[in-house]
Chain A
Amino acid sequence: EPEVTQTPSHQVTQMGQEVILRCVPISNHLYFYWYRQILGQKVEFLVSFYNNEISEKSEIFDDQFSVERPDGSNFTLKIRSTKLEDSAMYFCASSEGWDPRSSPLHFGNGTRLTVT
Chain B
Amino acid sequence: GENVEQHPSTLSVQEGDSAVIKCTYSDSASNYFPWYKQELGKGPQLIIDIRSNVGEKKDQRIAVTLNKTAKHFSLHITETQPEDSAVYFCAAPSQAGTALIFGKGTTLSVSS
Contact = CB atoms under 8 A, between A and B. Distances in A.
Interface of A: 4, 31, 33, 35, 41-45, 48, 50, 55-56, 91, 93, 98-101, 104-110
Contact of A56 (B38, B99, B102, B104): B99
A91 B43 contact: yes
Given A56-B94, A56-B99, 5 more contacts: A43-B44, A45-B94, A56-B98, A100-B93, A109-B43
A109 B32 CA distance: 24
A91 B44 contact: yes
Contacts of B102: 35, 42-45
A107 B105 contact: no
B26 interface: no
B7 to A, nearest CB: 13
B4 to A, nearest CB: 9
Contact of A43 (B46, B89, B95, B98): B89
Interface residues of B, number: 28
Q: What 5 pairs between A and B have smallest CB-CB spacing? A: A107-B43, A42-B104, A101-B32, A43-B102, A56-B96
Most buried by B among A41, A43, A107, A108: A43
Contact of B44 (A55, A99, A101, A107): A107
